[in-house]
Amino acid sequence: ELEPCIGCMQTTANVKLQKLCDEALVGQCQGCLCRPMWCLDCMGRWFASRQDQARPETWLGSRCFCPTCRSVFCMLDVCIVEA
């Protein structure tokens, strides 16, 4: 059973970071072994807050690190978990 999101404690944690991107295209993404602990909204806020605020057009091709284990991920690695 999925637990509440540790970011907002209002929604069920429904996001898992799983390396799905093409290594040749993206390069630096890593596998994340964390269990689902974040909801999509909180993970989206986390990702956006770590991007260049002056260049939002680059965000979809950018990377960030897992808020828990610090593994690097991109948007292609964000997976929704079904309850």
What pLDDT, on the 0 to 100 scale, is given for residue 21?
83
pTM of the model as a whole? 0.85
Positions of E strands within the chain = 15-17, 63-65, 72-74, 78-80
List, for the chain, all residue ranges whose pLDDT scores fall below the cut of 50: none
C-alpha 36/C-alpha 28 separation (Å) is 22
What pLDDT, on the 0 to 100 scale, is given for residue 50?
95
What pLDDT, on the 0 to 100 scale, is given for residue 61?
87
What pLDDT, on the 0 to 100 scale, is given for residue 41?
97
Please state the domain extents for the chain: 15-80
What pLDDT, on the 0 to 100 scale, is given for residue 25?
59
What pLDDT, on the 0 to 100 scale, is given for residue 34?
95
What pLDDT, on the 0 to 100 scale, is given for residue 28?
83
